[in-house]
Structure 1
């Protein structure tokens, strides 16, 4: 069999549009093996994400078949399976998108060592972020610790060109493509469906509201944010393509994409971000209260805006970003509980849960991360009254309070006792050694 062959190992880049590794391989080689390895090490962390992933794989296989190729599925250690497939098809090398988590770095090191041993080329490509994590460095440092100067440099940086999907993908003859995994049950009944085409439709439907993003993104009841985060997390959408769609690097929406890149470069430099405090000298004087943590995770703290956010998380596998700040702030700054168990709850339920953004944002709220004002706190009642002024968000997710009129829905403990007894809603959790002024 004449001609050159390459393997493209898919990980968190489940698309064909603006996929540098795939586009380069298809342009330079006669045959390309698009490969995904179902890694048992990453399985079962989140039923929601597992279901979303399997939907993405089915969609990617359909797309590749439409281009004349296929998605080859294997199960096991991704390094061993990638090498095995490369040797079976006589490939010259393997390409994949670079990632930043501790696990991704370990996988990359092992893959490089095995490629060297088997005389295979290994090439890493961009694509998971807009600007590669190591591309921007401050003077005298390996990464930016504060967002504002990073955003300033990031906004002026040269971005790579967005790439079209390959016109054709040619698979070597006789390659067993493998079966897609059975679609598992997720835990969130109203979770969105995964896949590149679904993400592209969502982007197309939402993008006419881009010019209003600064006015709508904090409106909890309005629910007009893009909801693109799961598709970015799994690479169904290219973050570069999404930013280019906005066509304005200074827009508030693109600023949010910059925050995503910011946490990726932080994680690349500090891979312990999910387990250890990032900020030097951070005080971690947490208390431990299993009952309070359970009440928070189940959305029954007696603080309506917090319970609404946690119940949305359970139902949809997603939570409005403002609600994420409020719920995380309540756990750490009001209840005084460690951010790591909270991070674990989010990691289990969120479709978009990833190491850099999930961990970085939790540490920011807890005061252990990149916030330049680590001791700030978010008053949940004031936040609710500002971002859910009519109580629509709370009433949607906390039906016990659906009949409570006006702003009283945010402070049901102030209602007359005879009214409170009819609500079947718990009183606020007691917080030892705290002074919750909003309960007075």
Structure 2
């Protein structure tokens, strides 16, 4: 039995159903829980949320007799320093799929230390399912069928106690953030219990209702791994529609594993032909397009670092299919602001909407007016985020350019139906 194993946390900031942590506690006499704040990565709007997640994780580890060791710098270099300091002979970590994470794993494998990777960021490991031909599933529906037919791994037990060697824990930095969604495993478990009890049964009927906001808002916690996607799928199993959404996360993980250039290159080339229009880009980013449903979504993003999923589809289609602007413009803006932005889901979804990705109907267009009338019929969502339209009658709210006279204080549209 090894004396000491390092558990390197990344996008798995929890102790519940954490296979790497569970196995390290089984395999070693002592465990060093470690998180390295990578000097290369700018967490942007997610910095404060990350700090809250780390603080919560430290409290959970302390309750079990350990601590969270925090360092800043290059992940590989700092981890190897901790290994030398503690005499650790192995590193256990959750496997990730981005090109950046895979390069990091390759660097670890060149070091004189054992590296073991474990599941935990997805429900099904991204390379477990393969079609009869090809390296990965390119279309969601056959992937969902295969995904639904296999047996998932058992949920890992949470360690009751964790023995740890003497090592300086280090300080968790402070960061300011807007108080919409507090980070951490304790917070998500509280929210999850309430959502499962009161909202899950209505998810299929209500998750597209913009004003009702019946989505779970668990995505930031999934992005940082404060909740296990497997545990969530098991507990929410009564709602096939919700579990299907979790399957989309796994689907894009296996796409990103097979196509590392997903954030930069068209997955299906030859479908672009984008325009360049800096003024239109800025209007879209600022929620000043003059199209109410688009502006509402973009202003929700600016205010909350989150956006309703239906609104995401509408604003993405508007940018790429209506304005014909490059999907990378939108994906990078979402990457900058969204609490839940990660590489597979953010860039996979943007390419899907743009027609360069995994959509089997690449020419589909979401007309923003029709979408607004269907999913925000009474205009409550629009009025919530676009106060200039608060008193506009519903009859003209979705198409203010058809009003008898210009609406004072609201911008003229850069597009009309």
- Do Structure 1 and Structure 2 share a fold, with TM-score over 0.5? yes
User: Given that residues 391 and 407 in structure 1 are in contact (C-alpha distance below 8 angstroms), is that contact kept between their aligned partners in structure 2?
Assistant: no
Relative to the length of structure 2, the TM-score reads 0.98
Asked whether 1:244 is paired with 2:234, we answer: yes
Q: Which residue of 2 aligns with 1:106?
A: 103
Q: Structure 2 CA distance, aligned partners of 1:3 and 1:145?
A: 42
SS state of the match for residue 139, structure 1?
Answer: coil
Match of 1:126 among 115, 119, 138: 119
**Partners of 1:3 and 1:318 in 2: how far apart?**
43
Deviations 1:246-291 (A, max 9, x none): 124x700000000010000000000111100001x43210000001
Partner Cα separation in structure 2 for residue 82 and residue 330 of structure 1: 44
Q: 1:296 touches 1:307 (CA, 8 Å); kept in 2?
A: yes
Conserved? CA contact 1:390–1:407, under 8 Å: no
Q: Where do residues 361-380 of structure 1 align in structure 2 (5 Å cutoff)?
A: 361-380=349-368
Aligned to 2:382: 394
Displacement of 1:191 after TM fit? Answer: 3.0
Would you say the 8 A contact 1:299–1:310 is kept in 2? yes
Indicate the SS of the match to 1:305.
helix
8 A contact 2:57–2:184 mirrored in 1:
yes
Contact 2:2–2:27 (Cα < 8 Å) also in 1: no
Q: 1:278 aligns with which of 260, 267, 270?
A: 267
**Pairing 1:306-385 to 2, within 5 Å after superposition:** 306-385=294-373
* Contact 2:70/2:169 (<8 A) preserved: yes
Does 2:83 match 1:76?
no
* 1:291 counterpart = 2:290: no
Task: Find out whether 1:429 has 2:417 as its counterpart.
Answer: no
Per-residue CA distance 1:343-391 (angstroms, 9 max, x = gap): 1110111000000000000000000000000011000000000000010
RMSD between aligned residues: 1.2
1:92 to 2:80 alignment: no
Which stretch has the larger CA shift, 146-155 or 404-413?
Answer: 404-413
In structure 2, how many angstroms separate the alpha carbons of the residues matched to 1:50 and 1:142?
35
Post-superposition offset of 1:190: 4.5
State the distance in 1 between where 2:374 and 2:126 align: 35
Q: Find the partner of 1:213 among 192, 195, 203.
A: 203
Does the aligned pair in 1 maintain the 2:31–2:162 contact within 8 Å?
A: yes
Distance in 1 between the 2:298 and 2:366 partners? 17
Aligned pair partner of 2:147 in 154, 159, 178: 154
Partner-residue secondary structure (3-state), 2:116:
strand
Structure 2 portions without partners, runs of 5+: none
Distance 1:253 1:158 in 2: 18
Segments of 4+ moved more than 4 angstroms: none
User: Corresponding residue for 2:391?
Assistant: 403
- Residue number among 212, 226, 233 corresponding to 2:223 in the alignment: 233
* Deviating more after overlay: 354-363 vs 156-165: 156-165
Q: Which runs of 5+ in 1 are unaligned?
A: 431-435
Q: Answer whether contact 1:69 1:170 (CA < 8 A) is retained.
A: yes
TM-aligned CA deviation for residue 43 of structure 1: 2.2
Residue in 2 that maps onto 1:201: 190
Task: Give SS of 1:309's match.
Answer: helix
On the 8 A contact 2:20/2:94 being kept in 1, the answer is: yes
Asked if structure 2 preserves the Cα contact closer than 8 Å seen for 1:190 and 1:315, the reply is: no
* TM-score (ref. length: structure 1): 0.93
2:401 corresponds to: 413
Aligned pair partner of 2:158 in 152, 165, 170: 165
- Alignment partner, residue 433 of structure 1: none
Verify: 1:63 aligned to 2:64, yes or no.
Answer: no
> Equivalent residue for 2:13?
14
Q: CA deviation at 1:185?
A: 2.4
- How far off is 1:3 after superposition? 6.8
State how many pairs are aligned.
Answer: 416
Distance in 1 (CA, whole Å) between partners of 2:157 and 2:219 is: 22
Contact 2:316-2:353 within 8 A present in 1 as well: yes
Partner of 1:142 in structure 2? 135
SS of corresponding position for 2:110: helix
After superposition, what is the alpha-carbon deviation per residue over 1:186-229, rounded to whole angstroms, capped at 9, x for unaligned? 3xx35311101111111111112212111010000001110000
